[in-house]
A and B are shown apart, each in its own frame.
Chain A
């Protein structure tokens, strides 16, 4: 047992600043501003999210017990977080008993080092990879490359992203921002020996990827995967996928290295009966995904004979220490919240700057990596990348209350921001509104706004510290005079008197009609 447990509990650290892919290089509004100009991106995204929304609704409506499954899924994840230490120790014990080796990583840097060391020990200079959010989060590919090891992404969308030297923009379909013509161009340019007559038919593009990767699957000795679930009770790991690239990576090589976030553990094998219904229907909108692989340690004569499980913290314990925010750890990475989000649908995944985009990314990223790790931390803008419409909450298969988490993060951001201009302005406004004389003077002062308003009567750029407000909306100029000064004028008095006369006349007419 750790000595820290016996003393005062310390707040666990976030993912170290400057490592991995949990922070963009600019704030959301600025990044979104540029992405919104990309009409191709918006067309691709709009079409894709519409399609998948319809599919999800159809297959979730099919199950009369969908809400009961969500309740169970939510409760199982809550139970998991409460019992996390014992469940991880149980998982470790069972994986080890079945011939696997378990490693622990405090952060992404340590996980990258462990994986690199394990790959080097095999003597292989190549690894094949199953799509994995955790390894994307820690920047494993970049680290492997710097150590002279070539990672080959084998999921079609991840392959497209890797070949285009691009970044993923969606949890489930990382190349959703690309259309078939763009993908054809990428393949023609980047796949060695591809048929130059390759057209843009998705089936033909998929066939080109199959031909390219087939040889890698047959010859590469090491694979790296993530895990959708790790069962504490049995030591079983599960990878949910569609293409068969997962099965290839989990079956063909001699060595398998799985990187799993510590929150992915589930208490019981039986719990799979819930998540194997929730995940595919929420994620791809299918009754079941084409392939799911489950393995427990090493099976003699079947699959990799050398198996390593790397358990990753990287800020997860910091999220767990937040009474409200910890709920984000319940996420099963289905991406349903992205597909229903009006902000994601327009801005796209890159604007969030993190491996985790969309509504869940806006709550998970600041919790894993912090919001104030740097001056003007881009992550501090993420809780505001939402209209709080609540569609994400309704879509979430484990009922994460994302809007409430966003509001809590906004609160934390304001608290941590110190003496901001906004805080000072609010304080000043409170004083002014308590004193009628100040209030009248302030209203007179607002008349200056008419000068910067120009002819169209709107202000599109407010001076600091109010530029944040005017960056995303126009401000109407203040009227010529305040209501109170108008009421006191001759015109005001005459208008009020006329209105009173009119009212008296109407009342008289109504009474006569009776």
Chain B
């Protein structure tokens, strides 16, 4: 009963179910990303955003009418956090796209609206900056994946590297997919969260791989599937513990961090959940499918006598 090498939860017997589940999620995510895409924030689209707070709940209809009258066509107006706070967005092609725009909106609201408000936040992102940020963001994701691929190949073995990067791709696509399906706003902080998800999910995967490698070297018997299953079981309580502590703080951020950090925390929560799942059901099965075996992981011993022969 106390043998640490027993398999309490047979994770891998369910790997085919997991495969179906993951494929399904990936298909939904990719379809959604391809058809409706992400609801990109002004960081990526360019445009103007003005957040104001009023002493009394603000009437959005009145505000919309006001903006339309002043020729701000295509302005979206919504409550932000509470009914006293209002977020006004102007897309880059709907109006003259200059940094002065936010001041014009502010001036208009404070002269014509039924109550005067206070500026909370104003953002203007030029279209070319938006394009650059999109490009840089995509590049950052790719660079991160490549660097990790190299590091894991160097520290472990290429099959582990492929397994872990596949798991990361899986996590990133599904997290992006959730943002696309539900049309949550995707801005720079969410992108940062996705990169942090890569870090986190990888962390999880590496811990499992480390144990797999150790067990391959230590255990004399057992098929690769059994060895991986044992390793997953041994690291299970750690996987759960770390996910729980991370989720605890993320929930604190989600509920207490304020509107601006809300989407960031959500991306991380989704990422941590998907990342924990993928390090068990994606990374390891793929490594197995690529045919990892005991022989691949034995420490290469340098034969001293061979070296001695070299003059």
Asked if A pairs with B, the answer is no
Interface residues of B (CB under 8 A from A): none
